[in-house]
Structure 1
Amino acid sequence: MSVQLKLMEIETYIGQYHILQGVSLEVKQGEVTVLLGRNGAGKTTTLRTIMGLNPAAKGIIEWKGEQIQQYQTFRIANKGIGYVPEDQGVFPYLTVEENMKVAMKTNNEATKERLEYILQLFPDLQRFWKKNGGYLSGGQKQMLSIARAYVNENDLLLIDEPSKGLAPIMVEKVMESLVAMKETTTIVLVEQNFMMASTIGDRFYIIDDGKTVQNGTMSVLRENEELRRKYLGIA
């Protein structure tokens, strides 16, 4: 499998704070790469830096061999990278249908087919198609947020904490949808729920104090209790 996305010694500041101090990783096509680490380690900032929302001060970001670290966010999105933020970003006063239409870059046959597929994955969205986004539950908003990123023909999805604050039954539904999506789309996932991360992830990178400290296949991390305890605080 080819490497789609590559970060090399990325450093990022937010105001006066030096958040990322040397993040390096590779994302292979067709895999789910999970970013793990304690709260405040720099995982969300890594996704935001890839999207140009918190521009990199140093280092290189390559997307399919092209350096994109100086690009504006809209240009990065147009390269085929979708972003699902931690706060979901749903427009509360637009209907589910309008939220989807705002997100759709095109209205061609391929997009329509993807929309039909999404509504099969997330039947709640079809059920509340004419309801405002603010009417949805937390889990339904998360589904809508993921659906908006997936409806376009993106080659990569960056998904930040999709299970955060969700009831267990909704976590199961989100997991099922991501497992289905990984058949056609590469995913970089930030996720604190280790059960979810280890179930759907192929590879992991652990970020600690703004630096990449460990990486490997998810099977290695599942079997390495010492590593989990040291960096994630879980047995």
Structure 2
Amino acid sequence: MKRFGETEVLKAASVHVRPGQVTVLLGRNGSGKSTLVRCALGLEAAQNGSVIWRGDATLNPRLARMAREGLFFLPDRGLAVPRQRVETHLETLRAAFPRSEPPPNQDPLDVAPFVRSRIWQLSGGERRRVELTLALLRDPVCLIADEPLAGLSPDHQSRTARALREAARRGAAVLVTGHEVELLLAVADEVVWIVAGGTRVLGSSEQAWEHPEFVGQYLGRRRPRDSPLSAAASAPAPVAASLARHAPVGVPQRGAAWLRRAVRVPLPVAASVAVIWVMLRVVLAALRGAVPLPEEGGATGSVLVGEVSLPLVAVCVFLAWIDQRRRGEASWLANLGIGPRGALLLWAGTCLSLEILAVVTSAWLR
């Protein structure tokens, strides 16, 4: 159940996503498709309900934890970081989730021409193609895509639909929302209709086209046209094989993979908060006038002078949170396995470590 104020959006809604299948969630605008998905990922707090992920039920789902275990969430917008280059996203994704077997098509949506561009320089459709490419190259165990076809040209819509079908064939559990009925139903193994705060499982695409209420209330009595895609599902790859693609074998390979992930994922986050800490220390030194400390009897002051300041650490963490929101990094980091709690610990740990290092260095210089 999910309410926004007095408005009850979801009453008794659920959706099951199975390995090797594409599940399509359809419904009118405002029916609660995105809300249901976000509640399942812990991005929205539901009044009640639980999530079953890989056989385990939880009342407190966390996108970052599920992302580390093979899930990728493609929101309807705002996945890619505007100030970063496309190639930076691709390199970070490869470092964060190394695998022994890459996907068959490394560039399914033709993003190579603008791979050196920054995200903010791209049009809406180009940005969406980049985000879809990131989702597909992740080669996830479970892919949840909220309106992935919106804003794309017909050709790229067809390519994306085929790529989603291919992801399921490789063993992924795929959940897709949207309003591009012909394309989505052409690749669907199961259709779920969300209406009046609840969900109805309509079955296969053929059964959905024949469902009288679904046709009358949602499709508007349309009939399917000839689709460029085949609705026949390919035989899915074994789930065990899908899981095995995401981990290097052997201690040296795991060590190298850990190092690449550390350099590409948490280190940039720590570097950004370190810059904030240095700026705060410079401002603090300027306010103090860099005067000698009384207890040191005339010792020369500097930026790295003083005891550990917990208020300064708190201010540093707060500014890092504001900076993350300004950069638009939260969704991308969550899909890399760093959620709000992880980011908070990383910020606080970095600021506190720098404070301790400053005190130790100051004492040694004296």
Normalized against structure 2, the TM-score is what?
0.55
The aligned residue for residue 35 of structure 2 is 45
What residue identity is the alignment partner of 2:185? S
Query: In the alignment, is residue 130 of structure 1 matched against residue 120 of structure 2?
Result: no
What residue identity is the alignment partner of 2:84? L
Contact 1:34 1:197 in 2 (8 A): yes
| 1:17-36 superposed matches below 5 A | 17-36=7-26
Query: In the alignment, is residue 210 of structure 1 matched against residue 220 of structure 2?
Result: no
Once the two structures are TM-superposed, the CA of residue 93 in structure 1 deviates from its matched residue by 1.8
Q: Which stretch shows the higher mean deviation, 220-229 or 151-160? A: 220-229
Q: CA offsets, 1:198-219, max 9 Å, x none?
A: 1111101100132113421122
Once the two structures are TM-superposed, the CA of residue 168 in structure 1 deviates from its matched residue by 1.9
Once the two structures are TM-superposed, the CA of residue 158 in structure 1 deviates from its matched residue by 0.5
Q: Over the residues paired in the alignment, what is the CA RMSD in angstroms?
A: 2.3
The aligned residue for residue 81 of structure 1 is 71
Structure with greater strand share of residues: 1
**Aligned counterparts of 1:175 and 1:30: Cα–Cα separation in 2:** 15
Once the two structures are TM-superposed, the CA of residue 65 in structure 1 deviates from its matched residue by 1.5
The aligned residue for residue 58 of structure 2 is 68
Q: CA offsets, 1:92-128, max 9 Å, x none?
A: 22111112234456353437x24xx452323x22222
**Aligned counterparts of 1:68 and 1:105: Cα–Cα separation in 2:** 29
The aligned residue for residue 229 of structure 1 is 216
Q: Which stretch shows the higher mean deviation, 95-104 or 19-28? A: 95-104
The aligned residue for residue 90 of structure 2 is 100
Q: CA offsets, 1:106-158, max 9 Å, x none?
A: 353437x24xx452323x22222211122333333222212223333521110
Q: Runs of 5+ in structure 2 lacking a partner?
A: 223-366
**Aligned counterparts of 1:168 and 1:222: Cα–Cα separation in 2:** 22
Choose the corresponding residue for 1:183, options 169, 182, 187: 169
**Aligned counterparts of 1:221 and 1:107: Cα–Cα separation in 2:** 37
Question: How has the CA–CA distance of structure 1 residues 110 and 126 changed in structure 2, closer, same or farther, with 3 Å as cutoff?
Answer: farther
Q: Which stretch shows the higher mean deviation, 14-23 or 49-58? A: 14-23
Question: How has the CA–CA distance of structure 1 residues 72 and 182 changed in structure 2, closer, same or farther, with 3 Å as cutoff?
Answer: closer
Q: Which stretch shows the higher mean deviation, 21-30 or 203-212? A: 21-30
Contact 1:51 1:77 in 2 (8 A): no
Q: CA offsets, 1:11-56, max 9 Å, x none?
A: 1234554321111232221100000111111101111112110133
Query: How many residues matched?
Result: 221
Q: Runs of 5+ in structure 1 lacking a partner?
A: 1-10
